[in-house]
Amino acid sequence: MNHRKLQRTLDTALALHQRGELAEAAKLYELACRTAPKVFDGWHLAGALAFQQGRTAEAVELLSTARRLDPASAPCKLFLGMALADLGRFEEAEKPLRSALEKLPAHPEAWLNLFRTLRALGRPAGDAINCLRRAIELEPNRATTHEQLGELLVATDGLAAAEPYFRRAVALQPDLVCGWINLGLALLEATGRFGEALACLDRAVQVDPMSAEARAARALAMLCGYRQEEAAADYDTALLLEPANLRVHSARAMLANYRAGLSREAVLAIHADFGRRVSAPSAVPFSRSRDPERRLRIGVVSPDLRSHPVARFFEPLLRHLDRGAFEVFLYHNDRRTDATSERMRQQAHRWANLCELPDDAAEKLIRADEPDVLIDLAGHSSGNRLPLLARRLAPVQVTYLGYPNTTGLAAMDYRFTDAHADPLGDADRLATETLVRFAPTAWAYEAPVDAPAVAPAPAAAGGPVTFGSFNNFTKVTDEMLQLWARLLARVANSRLVLKSRLFEEKEVAAVLRARLRTAGLPDDRVELLRPMPSVGAHLEAYARVDIALDTFPYHGTTTTCEAMWMGVPVVSMAGDRHAARVGCSLLTSVGHPEWIAENPEDYLRIAAGLAADRTKLAAIRAGLRDEMRASLLLDHAGQAARFGEALRACWRQWCGAGAVPVVREEACALPA
């Protein structure tokens, strides 16, 4: 075909293409490519049409040929990059997309494809954010782009920064389910505006009753509003709609710890079900030296390597861990970092943030570090990476500290605990991991540096005795409220102070007050405290409390330690599972097992007995902080050594050079 005839053919094909007569245009493009195989335009236009028609693999072949003929063509690179992205060939797509957008920046679809590519490759979030901002500038009324930018800002700048974009998305497209879900979560998590958040999530369910994500998000709102059974019902519905949703299964497992009506066996079944649903442990072989005494690489995966209760218990161990025996790799899974993060970073050989990485990219990063032992500090709590850990990224995997139950994972070998929280024998059948009772107490508490001095007990001035619970109110069951009502009835003129994050939300407070009255707790004897602006201010609030009341069946951990640090005795009731026995470990470790009740009547007896002896209360208040300082709970160096010994024992077991001790002989001993 001569040049003039070829040009007429291409002009005709292009006119057909522009009129939407695509089949006829495709025939002429094919003719041009066959008869003039070295002419760029035929291949390029044929490839663009194939991409438009959804023949993506064919488009890549045609456009690749065109690119070889004219490597400088920006339109060709643009279509090629978008086609490669559609096929998931992101590593190949990035370069042509970036190159094309340098010359053709006014193309919103290309910016969106580059955004997808950068996210898939785990590139820095800032680049992806810029892509979405450019796409919005070019096409400001596309709702999904605003929603995507909001999702990305959640991971980088927080929910408050994302809220305006979610609002814009649902304003542009009122039936955008993901927009309503994310707006509801932003309001719930960033601002605590429970009523408005629940309205958004209800709207998401109304728009798409078959959306499992909408149901799961509404369940989280129910849980935040202290409506556990409604949350459980929403999670169950979500799993009927999407049985393979691992995030919902994990959230349901977390919720099981709060539900007083579930047996231990039922809770175990929920966790084991999650474990069966995640991917099987990888068959990737480990080329580690099996020297049982060599220096070990210890990896730690957690969303809480920041100012958080988990860090408060783990940082002392990290600081005192023998660096001659262990090299530490910290994998943080949260966008938030702070001074605590920086201190921990300084203690680590390597610090990496996984929060922006999908599981495949995170797996590649961790495997490259070749950890010998990988430690999970989250369990099923928010921000966990259990599906990643299910891939078995280290020869030995351990879960510890951040979760009061089994993970259910076949790839999780051990759970570190103690003999008080998990008594020898009965507790072992309730875990899919091997329980390692590595120390007399499983905790190493570090008090906040800005903790105020211990204040005199309120009752010391002759006023009424004040009981208090600053625990997450999600842990407070109706049975617990009824027991506290009986306590107030027994102790004349006594008062109860409760504190939690959503008490300032009018709708939540109204529901809570109704629950309190139903339980027999009069309004004029119960004070609801709103959140405090700092940890120091939160601890100062203990100046209003004489005796702290632990929750049941889900004990406090940080709250129990904080109360005792502020001189306040804590009454706890021993139960039949780890979550209901943490108080036993903490109180025994500081030498006060007499504050542990065996049943509700015993709980009332202990609390009322403390209230009746104000002289004793004053003495406890004056001496409890010193008792903690002298206890196992603050024996940071000793606890780090015991922790290291347990890690070494697990490693020796993998090397075939020893067995992991089930329990330390001195597990129930107190220091001299």
Q: Please tell me the predicted confidence (pLDDT) of residue 662.
A: 55
Boundary-marking domain end, from 437, 466, 501: 437
Judged on CB neighbours under 10 Å (0-12, 13-18, 19+), 455 is: middle
Q: For the segment 312-356, what is each residue's pLDDT rounded down to a tens digit?
A: 999 999 999 999 999 999 999 998 889 999 999 999 999 999 987
Task: Return all residues near 51 (Cβ < 8 A) that are at least 6 apart.
Answer: 59, 63, 79, 82, 83, 86
DSSP state of 390: T
264 Cβ neighbours under 8 A, 6+ residues apart: 430, 576, 577
Q: Are residues 394 and 473 in the same domain?
A: no
What pLDDT score does 295 carry?
A: 97
Closest CA to 218 of 166, 257, 183: 183
Domain contains 656 = no
What pLDDT does residue 190 have? 65
Based on the fold, state whether residues 412 and 464 are members of the same structural domain: no
DSSP character at residue 191? I
Q: How confident is the model at residue 672 (pLDDT cuts 50, 70, 90)?
A: very low
Q: Measured between alpha carbons, how far is 150 from 154 in angstroms, rounded to an integer?
A: 6
Q: 522 CB contacts (<8 Å, ≥6 apart)?
A: 488
CATH code (residue 7): 1.25.40.10
Which is nearest to 587 in space by CA: 639, 636, 633? 633
Q: Do residue 411 and residue 532 come from a single domain? A: no
Same domain, 16 and 121: yes
Kindly report, residue by residue over 220-273, the tens digit of the pLDDT. 999 888 888 999 999 999 999 999 999 999 999 999 999 888 999 999 999 999
Tell me the C-alpha distance between 503 and 356, whole Å. Answer: 32
pLDDT at 670: 31
Strands 547-549 and 466-469: parallel
Give me the CATH number covering residue 613: 3.40.50.2000
Question: Cα separations (Å) of 342 from 307, 322, 534?
Answer: 10, 20, 19
Tell me if 412 sits within 8 A of 433, measured CB to CB.
Answer: yes
Q: Is 466 left (phi over 0), alpha (psi -120 to 50) or beta?
A: beta
First-last CA distance in the chain: 99
Structure tokens at 276: 């069966």
Using the predicted structure, report yes or no on whether residue 669 has a pLDDT greater than 70: no
Q: List, for residues 559-587, the tens digit of each pLDDT value.
A: 999 999 999 999 999 999 999 999 999 99
- Of 124, 140, 156, which marks where a domain is finished? 140
Least confident of 68-72, 423-427, 462-466, 665-669: 665-669
User: What distance in Å separates the CA atoms of residue 482 and residue 484, rounded to the nearest whole number?
Assistant: 5
Spatial contact of 75 and 105, defined as CB atoms under 8 Å apart: no
pLDDT tens for residues 370-386?
Answer: 999 999 999 999 999 99
Domain-located, residue 341: yes
Residues 423, 464: one domain?
A: no
421 shares a domain with 467:
no
10-15: Cβ within 8 A, 24+ apart: 10/41, 10/42, 10/45, 13/45, 14/45
pLDDT at residue 596, as a whole number: 98
The predicted model gives 154-168 an average pLDDT of 87
Mean pLDDT on 120-134: 87
Q: Is 235 helix (H, G, I), strand (E, B) or coil?
A: helix
| Residue 668 confidence class, pLDDT cut points 50, 70, 90 | very low
pLDDT > 90 in the chain, percent: 72
* Residue 374, C-beta contacts closer than 8 angstroms, at least 6 positions apart: 298, 299, 300, 301, 366, 389, 393, 394, 396, 397, 398
Residues 319 and 427 in one domain: yes
CB 333 within 8 A of CB 362: no
Structure tokens at 504: 């300032």
Question: Residue 266 corresponds to which amino acid?
Answer: A
Q: Are 282 and 315 in contact (CB under 8 A)?
A: no
Residue at 234 is within a domain = no
- Confidence label for 364 from pLDDT (cuts 50, 70 and 90): very high
Distance CA 169, CA 162 (A): 11
pLDDT of residue 282: 64
Does 476 share its domain with 624? yes
pLDDT value at 217 more than 90: yes
pLDDT tens profile 277-312: 997 766 678 988 999 999 999 999 999 999 999 999
Q: Name the average pLDDT for the chain.
A: 92
In a domain, 33, yes or no: yes
pTM score of the predicted model: 0.85
Contact 418, 399 (CB under 8 A): no
Residues 371 and 303 in one domain: yes
What's the pLDDT at 157?
A: 81
| Site of tokens 């175990």 | 268
Q: For residues 408 and 494, state if they share a domain.
A: no
pLDDT of 194: 83
Mean per-residue pLDDT, 205-220: 96
504 and 421 inside one domain: no
Structure tokens at 407: 């993970």
> Left (φ > 0), alpha (ψ -120 to 50) or beta: where does 104 sit?
beta
In a domain, 646, yes or no: no
- pLDDT of 321: 98
**What is the model's pLDDT at position 632?**
94
**Alpha carbons within 13 A on the beta-carbon side of 117:** 25
Residue at which a domain ends, from 140, 174, 195: 140
> Residue 576 burial (CB < 10 Å; 0-12/13-18/19+)?
middle
Q: Does residue 73 form part of some domain?
A: yes
**For residues 131 and 114, what is the distance between their CA atoms, to the nearest angstrom?**
7
Give me the CATH number covering residue 327.
3.40.50.11380
What is the rounded CA–CA span in Å between residue 256 and residue 468?
Answer: 25
Q: How far apart are CA 639 and CA 661, in angstroms?
A: 16
Tokens for 434? Answer: 């091997």
For residue 199, is it within any domain? Answer: no
Q: β-strand 296-302 against 396-399: which pairing, if any? A: unpaired
CA dist 273 → 45, 268, 379, 427, 612 (Å): 52, 8, 15, 19, 48
Query: What is the tally of structural domains in the chain?
Result: 3
Evaluate the CA torsion angle 233, 234, 239, 241 in order and state its sign. positive
Is the pLDDT at 212 greater than 80? The verdict is yes
Tell me the residue range of the domain where 376 lies. 296-437
CA–CA dist 152, 162 (Å, integer): 8
Within-domain flag for 657: no
d(CA 260, CA 207): 33
Same domain, 402 and 483: no
DSSP line for 281-324: PP-PPP-----TTS-EEEEEEES-SSSSHHHHHHHHHHHHS-TT
Closest CA to 83 of 127, 52, 128, 41: 52
